[in-house]
Structure 1
Amino acid sequence: MLLAQVQALWHARALWWVMTRREITARYAGTAAGVLWAYVQPLLTVAAYYVVFDIVFAMRLGDNAPTPAVGAFLIVGALPWMAFCDALSRGMLSLVEAGGVLQKNALPPVLFPARSVLASMLVHGPLLLALALAYGPQHHFGSALLVLPILVGLQFLLSLVLGYALAILMAALRDTAQIVAFVLSVGIFMSPILFPLTMFPEAWRWVLWLNPMTALVLSYQAVLLQGVWPSILAWAAIAAWLAGASLLLAVLLRRSRDQLVDWL
């Protein structure tokens, strides 16, 4: 089933790209700044973290943190988290919003979550890559920065698979939106975004790995803040989450194959 989805997306790649561009422009239609508004919120958030925590209060973390600067630490974790939440939320709603189109046209359903997730990553992806310019000089642009595009790509894949799975669940059960909104609201506290992993009680650190972004955030921190390659544990956790999410999506696709359009 998953291979068929990939093939359908590949064969309709031109349509996928057109739909993605239209979604980005439609989000900010009628505004003077247009698509630039998509970058305003994350940039203002990043600027606020830097000014408040690194300039005004000059707060510092402990010796075991990836960096002593609180603002820098928050930026490297919060920006990928914002990208993940935006992609997941938009992907989850994509099939329900496209219900009328799917009922009238024989389009592959995968196009719609793929469009929403790609539109989100086209906004946040360049910002994540731009972090290399901000933190690269600290480590003389070491070879570890070569991993950054791979991490962004893996985050896109994870967001796409989870977003598509949630879109199917949303079509079957509208309560999914409220559940996911709650999980995302508390998820940032169950990850090494607001505090270093070493500050969390060791006996309970396994809880953090239940968050699909924990391994990616740790990898971003390693590359950008420390100039080192992500640990094997982080790579293994990313692979495990991708495999688990793909298995879940395959099951949902098989069970919803004959009913998805009716649910919409």
Structure 2
Amino acid sequence: GAPMMAIANGATATTFTFGRLYANAHDIDAGRFNALLRMGVSLAWMIGPALTFVLIAEIGFQKTYFLSAALGLVWLASWYFLVPGGFTAPPKTRKDEPAKRMDWALLLAALSCTMFALANVLFTTAAPLFFIKEAGLPGFTPGMALSIKCFVEILVIFAAVRLAERFGARQVLLVAALLGVFAFGLMAQVTTVVEAAAYAALEGLYYGLFAGIAITYVQSFIPEEPGKATAIYMNSLFLGGMIGGVSMGFIADVFNFQMVVYAAGGVGALAFVVLILTKRTGRRVS
């Protein structure tokens, strides 16, 4: 079943590509439309994990899995009735052109997204064990912190678009990276549930700024190829998640889960450096 789930997850990238193309075709602000789509994803993350554990405890894993499959059928029906059937991407005009050079600015932008995703996965995977085993907090703390983070993230995502319009997407991402370093540094020192809640809100602020504009930022490097840009963006997130999942175990085995949280902050600092390098390429983005 895992490969099928992985293939199905490709719908996310397709949805964001469709969103960009549809916005362009109907004179809709692409950044704000992307933000609305990303808010939907974050809302699902806020509700889904917490609800899943409740359902598993009440009705068991198998019934919960079948319920998830039923939601997939609801998604299929939504696609059939809501997505315009006649909508297609504009045709691409191919010309005899010399081979393109390596687009270092685009690659660095994607690498910064990988760093953000890596930091997020490092902390998310280590947080439950860190909170309970090392910080000595109650068992409900990880779920509470994740819900607070996602709630704040949803509120911030749309605001991030407004900030990017005024100050520029790169500047907002630089601030997000610094907030991530600050949030993880504080989280590594957490001692009470109240502190965990407050720091989770700060984490939601940093990740909401990133999630709200990152895909638009990457797409802006090649606005004429939104499908390619979205694929690069999604792959950068998957790469960060893969590295983070593996790295968390190694770091925790050698040191402890607190060190994983510190490592997440260090990766946030690397994201800041990569964004600075992107600026130094001199590439202007739309």
Q: TM-score, normalised by structure 2?
A: 0.36
Q: TM-score, normalised by structure 1?
A: 0.39
Higher relative contact order (CA 8 A, sep 6+): 2
